[in-house]
Amino acid sequence: MSQRSRLAHPAPRRGEIWYVFTPGQPDDPHRPRPAVVISEDVRNRLRDDLIVVPIFSAGQVGPTRVPLQARSTGLRHDSVVFCEEITTIDRDFLARGPAGTLSPKLIDAIVRGVRRSIGEVVAEP
């Protein structure tokens, strides 16, 4: 892990919403975007990278998309987690956070959405 990422941010925790830089995005690579950390806490402390799922302020809810209400998440707007866009980012791409922490119920819904996005048949709880 780079010295910079250790000093800049404590290890993010599973379920936290962080603003992250997304270099290579055609729309605006310099503006941080919200994402929810879904990697396990032990992994987050030991690794240079994090597994995250992006959050967008617009989008249709569906089997691989989970709605978030602004008032319970720390976000400015009601938003949608795009579980089919799961990605790994280097901790150096963390901009700021945590903006909020999701409930265990929402984290479970996101994990189910990720599982659906890779073709698993997932029953509702």
**pLDDT (0 to 100) of residue 1:** 47
**pLDDT (0 to 100) of residue 14:** 97
Least confident of 19-23, 66-70, 71-75, 91-95: 19-23
Alpha-carbon distances of 98 from 19, 51, 73, 101, 111, rounded to whole Å: 8, 15, 10, 7, 19
Q: Which amino acid is at 80?
A: V
Q: Which amino acid is at 52?
A: V
Residue 52 has pLDDT above 50, yes or no: yes
Residue 61 has pLDDT above 60, yes or no: yes
What contacts 66, CB < 8 A, 6 or more positions away?
80, 81, 83, 106, 109, 110, 113
**pLDDT (0 to 100) of residue 9:** 67
Residue-range domains of the chain with CATH: 3-117 (2.30.30.110)
Dihedrals phi, psi of 84, to nearest 5 degrees: -75, -5
* Sign for the pseudo-dihedral over CA of 101, 67, 95, 117: positive
Residue 19 has pLDDT above 70, yes or no: yes
pLDDT tens-digit map of 73-114: 889 999 999 999 999 999 989 999 899 999 999 999 999 999
**pLDDT (0 to 100) of residue 27:** 58
DSSP string, 51-102: EEEEEESS---BTTEEEE-GGGTT-SS-EEEEGGG-EEEEGGGEEEEEEEE-
